[in-house]
Structure 1
Amino acid sequence: MKKFPNAFVILIAVIIFAWILTYIVPQGSYQRILDEATGTTKVLNDSYQTVTSEHLSLMDLILSIPRGIIGRADAIVLILLIGGCFYVIEKTGALNQGLVKLVKILEGKETLALILVTALFTAGGVTIGMQEEVIAMIPILLLFGKSLGYNTFSIILMSYGSTVIGSSFSPSNPFGVMIAQKEAGLPLLSGSQFRLVVLAVVLVVWIAFIIRYANKNRIDKIKMPSAHESMTTRSKIILSLLALTFCGVIYGLLFLNWDFNEMSASFFALGIVAGLIGQLGVNGTGESYIDGFKEMMFAAILLGLANSISLLLKEGMIMDTIVYALFGPLKYLSPSVSAVSMMIAHSFLHFPVPSYSGQAVLTMPILVPLSDLIGVSRQTCVLAYQYGAVMADMIVPTNGALMAVLALCNIPYNKWLKFALRPTLLIVLIAAIALVVSVAIGYQ
């Protein structure tokens, strides 16, 4: 596992490979028209033609790196500022105090506690694509779970696993569905009703699975430490402001035509206010923000690097050729089978590209025109990406958050894979059914 290339190396290799492909793959292009009703550009069916254009130079390859990063500046800023904001809030101790308070209230109500914590972390995944933030809370989560008599696997499922569920089936995950919808030319948060219905079904099944497993594998309870049982007034204020910020951002996206920049500004302001209220001081708040930027920088750069791949494929005039080649076998399949096939392909692609934000940027430019051609709506195309790529975070060893959680829990990856494969496949099956339904109802 130590010799497995990291995501940075993998993406650089893919960028070079994409550049080489521009010399090998025939150049071609589809005709496109602007749909005045929706304002989106669509591909004309059967309009592919071969073209002749200059090949990209070595300098074009090198320039694709900074250009790709610059091209995703708004999304990169969003990742950095949200990451910095939550790092500041963690430093104030508000998140940990809130969890300890919850343990105290739910003492002796084990199943109810499991349901509430699962729902809480699912909500974190739904709203902000939470995953990395779970790492810092693992020590107290282990105490929390074991104080209720739950084993380590149950604790990971109710925390990290629930964030993956929420992130994958979210109608508003800014790092997943919103980036994919933007790449697909769809209004942000559009199609949320169907996503919410599927999320509700999945959450019920997920909670039922956790309850069944947790109750069948109980351990002896340990005593929860009494320190920090009560929340400070500052922590209550910080958590209240966090909830208000989420509500304000959702309102802005729905009714005020907000975009990534408005979201970034909101969370940046929240981080500053939370740091000052939490008595980190001006310098302490600034230093915490910087530490948060460091934690999120890798994911942000991956997003830009993935965009570099798309730039090379487009400017090398082979993007449409790849779409044309993919369309060949899929045109013989029904739209429902094609949608499920897309989801499966996303799951496998997530191994070498563990950033699902980067994967959206990498694949949507290819799959959106493909979906136009085969009769799969763009919303369903985004669903296939969500369900395939993000759910893979439950098992892929290239996901840093997963590996960090397993290390803190002292669980070898092979044991986790053997355990997690069953619930993951169960949820993926529900996702496949949802994709078939979306095609059947013409989900837009």
Structure 2
Amino acid sequence: MNKFPNAFVIILSVILFAWILTFIIPKGNYQRELDTVNNRTTVVANSYEQIEAPHLSAFNALLAIPKGIAGRADLIVLVLLLGGCFYLIEKTGALNQGLNQLITLLKGKEVFALTIILLLFLTAGFTIGLQEEIIAMTPVLLLFGRTLGYNASTIVTASYGSAVVGAAFSPFNPFGVLMAQKEAELELLSGLEYRLVFLLIAVIVWTFYILRIASKNRIEKAKLELDIEELTARNKIILTLLALTFGGVTYGLIVLGWGFIEMSACFFGLGLVCGIIAGFGFNKTTEIYVEGFKEMVFACIVIGLANSISIIMSEGFIVDTIVFGLFSPLKNVPPSISGVLMTVSQAILHFPIPSYSGQAILTMPILTPLADLIGLSRQVCILAYQYGAIMMDMIVPTNGALMAVLALAGIKYNHWIKFIIKPALLILGVAAIAILIAVQIGYE
């Protein structure tokens, strides 16, 4: 298995497969209309029809690659600037000194340290849907993990994996459940209590299981290059600014409605300021920043390539056909089974639609009338969406963030699947139980 393809080859293969599917799957679409109140396009329920359209040429498939990269420009800018910022701060020695202090403090308490990482990223996932931002943090997290004696798979699971679980079970993920509730015409944050109960259950199950498998995958602890007893005054200022920036960005995301562009600006400014504080001067600061960009280029290209897959399937007019084929049979089965199958269908659909917010906008107008027809509450419909779609971010190769993190961590995709499949299925089992109970108690 040493010859297993890297992330670049895997995504190119999926792009080719997606293009071939456009010749096999019938073309069709749902009618869409502009919601002038919210200024967005919505899908008209029960409007699917097959259409005649020319096949996507090989050249158009190639065009989808630069389109995909350009279409994720805001995220790519964030990864470049955030990655460059972390790289620069690492070169100041502040991160090594800070980690040295933290490791000294946590000596003999590695399990406690890993638990803190798990809980931090679970919290980031269920509050702001943190995911892409982890890409630039990955090198630092890996360094921290090695000094604690944990391998790359364990650290990626504890960080990226935890963020996905938090986002999937969140009662107020703005890009997931809140968007789905809005599309399903439900009161925002309705059904909060039930979601909180299963969020707690999922967090407990996930944390204990990951700690268990982490104990079986220990490696020899790495030593930091620096062995300094106390932080220098300059590095104290740098780490303080880093913490304040994260706090300010989190506030901006939750309260001010910030996006990737505002985050990029904050971290770009932080990097420049930290370089000056470290005494690098403008020339050296910018040179180091450029070196940091180079470290992130592969991850950025992977993100863009992943976006190309959905572009090909959309321009080939097969996405709506896949949606119609997955969800139409659900009206022929009992509500309890339908709820679980709806989760499975949402999970499968996440392969061609790696954006779970986009998946909510596409599927909710279609599924809510179907749910009403078969006696399934709209809240259960949303549970099926958030559990099925968001949890797949841990697995699908069309997710650019996942593939970028794996590329930076040096984890082959087949090794990752082998490592993550059991905990992912365990959490999906918790999700299935949540849906079955919700149907039985008439969760509204």
* TM, length-normalised to structure 1: 0.72
Structure 1 SS opposite 2:134: coil
Counterpart CA distance in 2 for 1:405 and 1:86 is 15
Take 1:54 and 1:131, find their aligned partners in 2: how far apart are those partners? 38
Q: Which residue pairs with 1:388 in the alignment?
A: 392
Q: Conserved in 1, the CA contact under 8 Å of 2:343 and 2:387?
A: no
1:340 aligns with 2:343: yes
Q: Contact 1:80/1:293 (CA < 8 Å) preserved in 2?
A: yes
Work out which of the residue numbers 164, 169, 188 in structure 1 matches 2:165: 169
Q: Which moved further from structure 2: 215-224 or 231-240?
A: 215-224
Q: Matched residue pairs, number?
A: 413
8 Å CA contact retained: 1:88, 1:285: yes
Partner letter of residue 386 of structure 1? Answer: I
Q: Does the 8 A contact of 1:29 with 1:48 survive in 2?
A: yes
Distance 1:23 1:366, change over 3 A: farther
The offset of 1:4, in angstroms, is: 2.4
Aligned mates of 1:14, 1:418 — CA distance in 2: 19
For 1:315, the equivalent position in structure 2 comes to 315
Alignment check: 8 A CA contact 2:64 2:312 kept? yes
User: Secondary structure of 1:33's partner?
Assistant: strand
2:287 match:
287
Shift of 1:331: 3.8
Task: Say if 1:83 and 1:292, in contact at 8 Å, map to a contact too.
Answer: yes
**Closer, same or farther in 2 for the Cα pair 1:430/1:133, shift >3 Å?**
same
Distance in 2 between residues matched to 1:224 and 1:298, nearest whole Å = 26
1:317 alignment partner, SS class: coil
Q: Indicate how the Cα distance of structure 1 residues 104 and 84 shifts in structure 2: closer, same or farther if over 3 A, else same.
A: same
* Structure 2: runs of 5+ lacking an equivalent: 372-377
Contact kept in structure 2, 1:238 and 1:274, CA below 8 Å: yes
Three-state SS of the structure 2 residue aligned to 1:242 is helix
**Structure 1 contact 94–239 (Cα < 8 Å) conserved:** yes
Q: Larger deviation: 20-29 or 194-203? A: 194-203
- SS of residue in 1 equivalent to 2:332: coil
Match in the other structure for 2:156: 160
Q: Shift of the alpha carbon at 1:132?
A: 6.4
Using the alignment, how far apart are the partners of 2:222 and 2:344 within structure 1? 46
Task: Name stretches of at least 5 consecutive residues in structure 1 with no aligned partner.
Answer: 146-151
Q: What letter is aligned with 1:167?
A: A
Give the match's secondary structure for 1:323: helix
Check 1:99–1:427 CA distance in 2 against 1; reply closer, same or farther (3 A cut): farther
Q: CA RMSD in A?
A: 4.6
CA contact (8 A) 1:309 1:362 kept: no
Q: Which moved more, 1:212-221 or 1:14-23?
A: 212-221
- CA positional deviation for 1:338: 3.2
Q: Secondary structure at the match of 2:56?
A: coil
Structure 2 match to 1:297: 297
1:148 alignment counterpart: none
Contact 1:310–1:362 (Cα < 8 Å) also in 2: no
2:162 maps to amino acid: G
Q: Would you say the 8 A contact 1:184–1:364 is kept in 2?
A: yes
C-alpha contact 1:92 1:278 (8 A) present in aligned 2: yes
Separation in structure 2 between the aligned mates of residue 288 and residue 183 of structure 1, nearest angstrom: 40
Which residue identity is paired with 2:385?
C
Instruction: Return the alpha-carbon distance in structure 2 between the equivalents of residues 343 and 213 of structure 1.
Output: 28
> Is this contact kept in 2: 1:28–1:321, CA < 8 A?
yes
Following superposition, the deviation at residue 59 of structure 1 comes to 3.3
Q: CA deviation at 1:324?
A: 1.9
Say if 1:253 and 1:295 are closer, same or farther in 2 by CA, change over 3 A.
Answer: same
1:130-209 matches, within 5 Å, as 130=134, 133-136=137-140, 138=142, 141-145=145-149, 152=150, 157=154, 159-171=155-167, 200-209=200-209
1 CA distance for matches of 2:30 and 2:429? Answer: 34
Deviates more, 1:52-61 or 1:258-267: 52-61
Specify whether residues 293 and 330 from structure 1 end up closer, same or farther in structure 2 by C-alpha distance, changes over 3 A only: farther
Counterpart amino acid of residue 84 in structure 1? G
CA contact (8 A) 2:103 2:148 kept: yes
Q: What amino acid maps onto 1:336 in structure 2?
A: G
- Cα displacement (A) at 1:370: 5.5
Report the equivalent of 2:75: 75
1:48 Cα deviation (Å)? 1.5
Q: Give the drift of 1:402.
A: 5.3
1:120-131 equivalences under 5 Å are 120=120, 127=130, 129-130=133-134
Residue 5, structure 1, aligned to residue 5, structure 2: yes
Q: Residue 5 of structure 2 aligns to a residue in which SS?
A: coil
Tell me the SS of whatever aligns to 2:257: coil
CA gap of 1:113–1:346, structure 2 versus 1, over 3 A, is same
Aligned to 2:427: 427
Match of 1:227 in 2: 227
Please name the residue that 1:103 is paired with. 103
Question: Which range is displaced more, 323-332 or 375-384?
Answer: 375-384
Asked whether the 8 Å contact 1:124–1:163 carries over to 2, the reply is no
Q: TM-score, normalised by structure 2?
A: 0.72
Percent identity for Structure 1 against Structure 2: 41
| Equivalent position SS for 1:83 | helix
Letter in 1 for 2:80: L
Q: Matches of 1:10 and 1:222 in 2, distance apart?
A: 31
SS at match of 2:300: helix
Match of 2:22?
22
* Corresponding residue SS for 1:337: helix
Q: Which moved more, 1:262-271 or 1:335-344?
A: 335-344
Q: For the residues of structure 2 that align with 1:58 and 1:225, how far apart are their CA atoms?
A: 50
